[in-house]
Amino acid sequence: MGFFERLANVWKGFLSLWISEVETKNPEAVYEAAIEERIKKHKELKKAVSGIVYLRNKLAAELEEKERELAEVQVQIPIAVEEGEDEVALVLIQRKDELTARIAQLQVELDKVAGQTEEAKAGLISFQEEIKKLQREKDEMLAKKANAEARISIQETLDGLSTDADIKALENVRSHIDKLQAEADVATEIKGESLDDKLAKIKAKTSNVAARSQLEEMKKQMAARKSAQQAAGNVKKTM
Domains for the chain: give ranges and CATH numbers: 3-160 (1.10.287.1700)
Which of 213, 193, 217, 195 has its CA nearest to residue 205?
Answer: 213
The pTM for the full model equals: 0.47
Q: 88 with 45: CB under 8 angstroms?
A: no
- Which pLDDT does position 69 carry in this prediction? 93
Element (H, E) at 54: helix 27-82
- Which pLDDT does position 10 carry in this prediction? 43
Report how far apart, in Å, the C-alpha atoms of 155 and of each of 141, 149, 160, 167 are. Answer: 21, 10, 8, 20
Cα–Cα distance between 40 and 130 in angstroms, integer? 13
Q: 43 with 124: CB under 8 angstroms?
A: no
Which of 101, 131, 173 has its CA nearest to residue 31?
Answer: 131
- Which pLDDT does position 124 carry in this prediction? 85
Residues 6+ apart with CB under 8 A from 153: none
Q: What is the chain's pLDDT, residue by residue, as a tens digit (239 residues)?
A: 554 455 445 434 444 443 455 456 677 788 888 888 888 888 888 888 888 899 999 999 999 999 999 999 999 999 988 988 889 889 999 999 999 999 999 999 999 999 988 888 888 888 888 888 888 888 888 888 888 878 887 777 766 655 566 667 777 777 878 777 777 766 665 555 555 666 666 666 666 666 677 778 888 888 888 877 777 666 666 65
